[in-house]
Structure 1
């Protein structure tokens, strides 16, 4: 008899984290699950560790390295449960995650997805505080979901048939692949919130490369544009002005975030993309136009600004 829940865990050189992540699965109060751990061509001891597990609910699949989207899709092809959850090999769940998420979905037969709150482990200050998202099941849900990813991949439980109908993960996306899937799954069907922090997103130190920050923002834009192209009625309903605000306003906000952190490589890449679309107010273009200059000149201009009257604290995105 198939399990109620299939848990898909993509694994790539994750041997150091697997005892904690798999341990959080083994500690679930709801026990009718299968864990499909897909080793994506690891070169450390990941596969050896997985193959020594004795719990029969843990199933191991191995493949040559193909990336996280293809790895999750490989797990989906083997999944047998009515419901599917995704847990990356370095993240964890609270022991009651599956029990509470499944109960929420079973109370709402019309809902295809349940989502919950999460905590960023290893980040200082407010970024490390627990966060419980609002109830997105409102008349504006589709716009809200289009504007950005609203929960991390391991903070959701979804009906498998809905994921299959949505086509699974886009292997062409190295970022925003989960955003693209949630948008397709949840945009026009009911979802339910579990207002508790049940998922833990672990940060392990080190800074994300600037190129990856820009790539993440641009691939989210790609996913937005692809969704609107597949759903022209929704695009028409939004209208041109609202579409541009949701797409390029969101992108510009990310560009500013990088700019004020003085992450110029990422900011310049994003600003150039926004300018190509013709989006932004005159004041936005004041900040974006220097991105067309050679990097040394741009850096020199910023040094002048930084040494002047505190202009770096005047983020236009924070002005009323």
Structure 2
């Protein structure tokens, strides 16, 4: 695996409580990264000092004024020297076999530009040191994802901290993450990459997505559709996209519109919910569309909110 060199990009903004633990999980990898690019995005806490105190010569610290996570990741990509770039949020955690598994996927599928593993969600507990959970890496299957929008609608299988991308592809796409966006800015990149390359996904859950207290109770209601959805819909209208991928991309756009409609119902904005239902009318014959329509018409917002909240808690409990 000597031809695989990982640069791991870590955006840092006021995560002093988490960053040392997160970097410790990266330093404990059975397959070591070439470098760790920590982008201090204008933090006002002691996080960058804690990173410097680690004294790890592989850590490259880059400082910039606060510009958001998308800009921080783009800065990290610009400074990366490895031929593969992985991403790690400053409060997530890696299993020791994570990079080793990614490297094996790269060697097994040298034609691909993107590899990933599954992950597990876990609640954050202050002062508790996370320990590696048992994963039978050798028995894990590898899923080759040819149609990411279709696969995404069956359930999220990876996220930013469980992905690595060929550096040359990212450098050609700069700015990779849309600057100034913080909702779906990562999905925008994954779907653009997946339109030209399949993704090798290990079914081993080798990343801990740490959920900080209170994150489950936040209801995000977009007043307009997120830019990444609009861009996906625009790309799907291009004749250059394969017909099957065009259909699944448009289905995913409508799937997200219905998700936003449910969030609007939870927040008591039934007018916005109905507008989103209308925009998703191409899914009129789906069970999800009608279930959302019933919510918008008959169910009280607090009941919808509690149901959505229960579903999120259940996902966390199941890991």
- Same-fold call, TM > 0.5? yes
Q: Distance in 1 between matches of 2:108 and 2:249?
A: 35
2:251–2:283 contact (8 Å) kept in structure 1: no
8 Å CA contact retained: 1:5, 1:32: yes
Does the aligned pair in 2 maintain the 1:175–1:216 contact within 8 Å?
no
Identify if the C-alpha distance between structure 1 residues 274 and 47 changes in structure 2 by more than 3 Å, giving closer, same or farther: same
- Give the whole-Å Cα distance in 1 for the aligned partners of 2:272 and 2:71: 27
Q: Which residue of 1 aligns with 2:159?
A: 152
Give the structure 2 partner of residue 263 of structure 1.
Answer: 266
Normalised to the residue count of structure 2, the TM-score between the two structures is 0.75
Counterpart of 1:272 (choices 272, 275, 278) is 275
TM-score by length of 1: 0.75
2:21 alignment counterpart: 20
Taking the TM superposition and a 5 Å limit, the aligned residue runs for 1:92-241 are: 92-122=93-123, 137=144, 141-144=147-150, 150-167=157-174, 168-207=176-215, 212-214=220-222, 218-228=226-236, 231-234=238-241
**8 A Cα contact 1:166 1:184, kept in partner:** no
Equivalent of 1:251, from 257, 265, 271? 257
Alpha-carbon distance, 1:289 to partner: 9.5
Name the SS for the 1:184 alignment partner. Answer: helix
- Give the whole-Å Cα distance in 2 for the aligned partners of 1:73 and 1:119: 26
Tell me by how many angstroms 1:227 deviates.
Answer: 3.6
Q: Is the 8 A contact 1:5 1:82 kept in 2?
A: yes
Higher mean Cα deviation, 7-16 or 275-284? 275-284
- Give CA-to-partner distance per residue, 1:27-69, whole Å, 9 cap, x none: 1111242001001111111122122221100111111100000
CA RMSD of aligned residues (A): 3.7
Sort the Cα spacing of 1:82 and 1:286 in 2 relative to 1 into closer, same or farther, 3 A: closer
Equivalent positions of 1:276-287 (< 5 A) are 276=279, 278-279=281-282, 281=284
- Consecutive unaligned residues in structure 2, runs of 5 or more: 125-134, 309-319
For structure 1, which runs of at least 5 residues remain unmatched after alignment?
124-129, 292-297, 307-311, 314-320
More displaced, 196-205 or 244-253? Answer: 244-253
CA drift at 1:277: 5.7
User: How many residue pairs get matched?
Assistant: 286
| Bigger Rg, which one | 1
Structure 1: distance between partners of 2:60 and 2:227: 32
